[in-house]
Amino acid sequence: MKAGLAQDAVVTVVTEFVREKFLAGDPDGELQEDTNLLQLGILDSLNTAVLMTFIRDDLDVVIPLEMISAGNFKTVRSIASMICSSAVPSGV
| ∠ CA 71-22-59, rounded to 5° | 65
Amino acid at 49: A
Decide: residue 47, CB within 10 A, 0-12 exposed, 13-18 middle, 19+ buried. Answer: middle
Q: By CB under 8 A, how many residues form the interface with other proteins? A: 32
Which of the residues 21 through 60 are near other proteins (CB under 8 A)? 23-24, 26-28, 30-31, 35, 38-42, 44-49, 52-53, 56
Binding part of the chain for other proteins, among 1-9, 10-18, 20-28, 84-92 by CB under 8 A, reads 20-28
Contacts with other proteins by CB under 8 A lie at 23-24, 26-28, 30-31, 35, 38-42, 44-49, 52-53, 56, 62-66, 68-70, 72-73
